[in-house]
Structure 1
Amino acid sequence: MKQSGGQGQFVDISITVRFETLEAGSGYEFKSEIIRGAVPRNYNPGVMKRLEECISSG
């Protein structure tokens, strides 16, 4: 869990990541598609950062 706000405020988010092939050398594309509920968009940079770490380490 990650603390999301003031003292005692936490969030637990389950995500599904889908990978699709892009043209070689074109990097990656990040899309956020919220299906249920309302997840603040300010979580996207943290998710993108972690995905970049995973991509760089294989």
Structure 2
Amino acid sequence: MFGLFKKKTEKEQLEAQYAKLLKEAHSLSTVDRKQSDQKTWEADQVLKQIEALPQS
């Protein structure tokens, strides 16, 4: 109950964004390959940001 108002860390936010982008890329892969590639590239950029974060 007390974790209800806990804010997500920057790493958790980036991981959620990464997962969302990969899911979008997968769904677009059957419809529009160019947009799917764009989403995959965006997800890769987010992954690089996650890796650049200091380890805790």
The answer, yes or no, to whether TM exceeds 0.5 is: no
With structure 2 as the length reference, what TM-score do the two structures score?
A: 0.36
Specify which structure has the higher proportion of helix.
2
With structure 1 as the length reference, what TM-score do the two structures score?
A: 0.35
Specify which structure has the higher proportion of strand.
1
